[in-house]
Amino acid sequence: MSTRQSPASPLYPKIRFAFTDHPITVWAGAILLRLYFEVIGLRTALVPVLTPFAKTSNNQIPAVDVLLAWWYGLALSAERFEHFTRYRRDPLFPRLLGLPRFPSPDTLRRFFQCLRG
């Protein structure tokens, strides 16, 4: 029995199309921004600054993660807080960015209201 070849791209015949069980995301380019943030040590620099804004809830997302998620969203062209819902729905995206979970639009709103004072 012969194995069936997967279809090739019309423009690039060396590229083959096939199904995979591996998780994929359309937001994979955001890893470059995460690497840049790690190189400059942004998370470590923000922790002492954002400590006064820490919440006491058991289910909280750390203030640093909320701010980083907001920057990632801005880099991916989110114009409104509600646009962050699309990043939240992607199961691979928070893992890709090193966040335990991605904040909701309401969490982002409350965070910035807290900063306003």
Give 79-97 as a 3 state SS string: CCHHHHHHHHCCCCHHHHH
Whether the per-residue pLDDT at 29 is higher than 90: the answer is no
Per-residue pLDDT, 47: 93
Considering the domain boundaries, does residue 8 fall inside one?
no
Considering the domain boundaries, does residue 68 fall inside one?
yes
Considering the domain boundaries, does residue 84 fall inside one?
yes
Considering the domain boundaries, does residue 9 fall inside one?
no
* Helix, strand, coil percent content, the chain, rounded in steps of 5: 50, 0, 45
Considering the domain boundaries, does residue 1 fall inside one?
no
CB within 8 Å of 2: residues ≥ 6 apart? none
Threshold 0.75, pTM exceeds? yes
Considering the domain boundaries, does residue 19 fall inside one?
no
The domain total for the chain is 1
Token reading at 110 = 């409350």
Considering the domain boundaries, does residue 105 fall inside one?
yes
Domain range for 105 is 30-116
Considering the domain boundaries, does residue 12 fall inside one?
no
pLDDT tens track for 56-79: 788 889 999 999 999 999 999 999
